[in-house]
Structure 1
Amino acid sequence: MSTTAAVLWTGGKDCALALFKAQKKGYNITHLVTFTPENPDFKAHNLSLIQQQVAAIGLPHLLLTVKAPMQESYENNIATLKKQYKIDTLITGDIDEVQNHDNWIEKCCQKSEMLVYNPLWKKDRNELLHQLINENFKIIFSLVKKPFFDQNWVRKVIDSTIIEELKKLNIDICGENGEYHTMVLNAPYFSKELKIDSYTITEHEHYFYLNKQLTTS
């Protein structure tokens, strides 16, 4: 496939699976792209984690700042990706509309006529989670929201037992409504697994999250 593509990388399970599927589809993936606010304070996936993931993947990483007005900022950054880096397709881990909003990235790509590939879009949630397990991804919960979860869920590895537990809760089992966030520690395309050396679990307002220090094995 001649398409030159970039994956929108957040550090979580969905973008990781999207990258895997795009590789299988034959996309020529040249970059990972992370959109970040001017003063980032990511509780679910901090930038140091993302940088270590990127190093394990081995692709160039572009960190692009977005600010108000948000749509214009996204559109300008996407235009830069197309003009300066010759990227013609963005790959996302989006699964569904959030709170009945249309796909944000597709909307922001229209002005520059950037193509979008959403390999997870509208797919069965259970199948997506099981594919992660079957393809040997190692993924942990990095942030969980009350009252659905308590702090004991933080740092648990997603496996078949955990998926069954998620089904018992009144949530989207992929966390599409912000019920939880994840951190990818290993994937088929990682050169090394990320290891958690030390961590604390912090309670903040309506959620618990992992404060972590990571190394590669």
Structure 2
Amino acid sequence: MVRIALSWSGGKDSCMALHELINRGDEVACLLTTVPQETGKTFAHNEDIKKMEAQAESLGIPLELVHCTYDTYTEDFLEELVKLKTKYRLDAIAFGDMYLEGHREWGQKLADAAGLKAVYPLWSEQSEMLTMLNKFINSGYKAEVIKVREDVLPLDWVGRLLDESFIKDISEKDVCPMGESGEYHTFVYDGPLFKKEVRS
């Protein structure tokens, strides 16, 4: 059995990655969440740490916070990953990226430097993103939009649940349906792997 650390944002992509890893028999030893000192909240999603801790508790998987700065993000991540490799006897680190080559290259270099395998359980073609969104919504997980890029999506989408109505509306926009370029971010609060709902 492969022991894996999963890069964890709390959103749909990392949740889908977790689901895939567990379904194929891998052991997710811990969840890794980066926390820039500049904000004290999660990187990119800007989520409250207490909500991340509640997620991890409901999932029954340890959460490890990677404290970093924007300027030294990679170096800080690598330093912490090397420590966690020993602590959890890790074989690999997994990411929820789907098709952006630049993200995959960064993760591969990070894993190589730490002496780990890089795993991308959701890797697919860009043309498959609407199918991926449907798969997530039909999987039984529940998520809400917590952040949008206001240059591409309306601010009033914050708070929307990912459901059939969301699929219809996002498919009419000129954006990636899965928000792979940061068009929107989500927080997953319930689903098959959760012991209890974690909405605030």
CA contact (8 A) 2:66 2:77 kept: no
What is the SS of the residue equivalent to 2:114?
coil
Listed as ranges, the gaps of 5+ residues in structure 1 are 196-213
Q: 1:194 to 1:62 in 2, by over 3 A?
A: same
Say which one has the larger Rg: 1
8 Å CA contact 1:142, 1:182 repeated in 2: yes
- How far, CA to CA, are the matches of 1:190 and 1:101 in structure 2? 28
Contact 2:97 2:103 survives alignment (8 Å): no
Structure 1 equivalent of residue 54 of structure 2: 52
Give deviations 1:113-143, integer Å, cap 9, x for gaps. Answer: 2112111112421121111111111011111
Q: CA deviation at 1:52?
A: 1.1
Task: Deviation per CA, 1:49-96: give whole Å up to 9, x if none.
Answer: 111111111111111212343332222222112123211111211112
Letter in 2 for 1:190: F
Paired residue type of 2:8? W
TM-score, normalised via structure 1 length: 0.82
Unaligned runs of 5+ in 2: none
Amino acid aligned to 1:30: A
Counterparts of 1:1-217 in structure 2, within 5 Å, are 2-39=1-38, 40-42=40-42, 44-67=46-69, 68-97=71-100, 100=102, 102-123=104-125, 124-195=128-199, 214=200
CA distance in 1, matches of 2:5, 2:112: 16
SS at match of 2:29: strand
Residues 150 and 193 (structure 1), Cα distance of their counterparts in 2 relative to 1, 3 Å cut: same
Q: Once the two structures are superposed, what CA deviation does each residue of 1:9-48 show, in whole Å capped at 9, x if it has no partner?
A: 1111100000000001100112111122224244542212
In the alignment, is the contact (CA less than 8 A) between 1:16 and 1:187 conserved in 2?
Answer: no
User: RMSD across aligned C-alpha pairs, in angstroms?
Assistant: 1.8
Deviates more, 1:141-150 or 1:125-134: 141-150
Is the contact between residue 38 and residue 65 of structure 1 (CA under 8 Å) also seen in structure 2? yes
Q: State the secondary structure of the residue aligned to 1:181.
A: strand
Please report how far the alpha carbon of residue 194 of structure 1 lies from its aligned counterpart in structure 2 after TM superposition. Answer: 2.1
User: How far apart, CA to CA, are the structure 2 residues paired with 1:75 and 1:105?
Assistant: 10
Could you tell me how far apart the structure 1 residues matched to 2:148 and 2:73 are?
26
- The residue matched to 1:107 in structure 2 has which SS? helix
Give the CA deviation at 1:112: 2.2
Which structure: greater helix fraction? Answer: 2
User: Distance between the aligned counterparts of 1:101 and 1:94, measured in 2?
Assistant: 7
Cα shift at 1:101: 5.5
Change (3 A) 1:101 1:18: closer
Farther-moved stretch of structure 1 (100-109 vs 130-139):
100-109
TM-score of the aligned structures, taking structure 2 as reference length: 0.88
**Percent identity between the aligned chains?**
26
Q: Would you tell me which structure has more strand in proportion to its own residues?
A: 1
Distance 2:75 2:149 in 1: 31
Which amino acid in the other structure matches residue 26 of structure 2? Y
How far apart in 1 are the matches of 2:27 and 2:104? 27
